[in-house]
Homo-oligomer: A and B are copies of this chain.
Amino acid sequence: MSAAPNRIRVFLVDDHHLFRSGLRTELGEAFDIVGEAGDVDTAIEGIRGTRPEVVLLDVHLPGGGGVAVVENVLRDTEEVRFLALSVSDAPRDVILLIRSGARGYVTKSIAPADLAEAMRRVRDGDAVFSPRLAGFVLDAFRGEVPGAVDPELDQLTAREREVLRHIARGFTYKEVAARLHLSVKTVETHVSSVLRKLQLSSRHELTRWATDRRMV
């Protein structure tokens, strides 16, 4: 199966046939395209069967998105490296892909030569991100997604935020009441308001909400 030993074995995953065709044309000489897929299930099956070194993966895919492919394949093997290739440079997409186990993320506007270089680097184990995306990833890693003055948080009153912080830390209503010199009933009222305003239904979701926003 393997052609020249130095050609990297690549699998293409993108739901646009034309785009895959473009990739084949641009990469076909320097890389060994062992297979391709246009949806999640086909991709998983194909990657399992062909064992590529690098998977070029679109973020937005029918059947669950690129994340589903990465998670599914990496459950079995660690041999395959994923390089996400997407039109989107939304921080959220990038973060989710990296969390799932992709080792790089570049946008489709990348020059073919740069893409080839990125693929080689990913194959070698490097982490590859285009400049703007690197900032997102490292910022998320540092735990400070900047900007974002939260409109969700803004609709809470000062007292409600105060109570929220305590609840999110795991204190019971009784404990919060003692700390804020309130009655348990007042705490309950505030928590109810917070839950209603944030469209949540339990203190556990509230905890997750707060930790996601790094209020703790």
Contacts and interface: CB of A to CB of B under 8 A. Distances in A.
Majority SS at the chain A contact face: helix
Interface residues of A, number: 33
A62 interface: no
A207 B171 CA distance: 12
A21 interface: no
A126 B137 contact: no
A103 B138 contact: yes
30 contacts: A98-B138, A99-B141, A99-B142, A99-B143, A100-B142, A101-B142, A103-B134, A124-B131, A125-B131, A125-B134, A125-B135, A126-B130, A126-B134, A127-B127, A127-B129, A127-B134, A127-B137, A127-B138, A137-B141, A140-B141, A170-B202, A170-B205, A170-B208, A171-B204, A172-B202, A172-B204, A203-B204, A204-B207, A207-B207, A211-B211
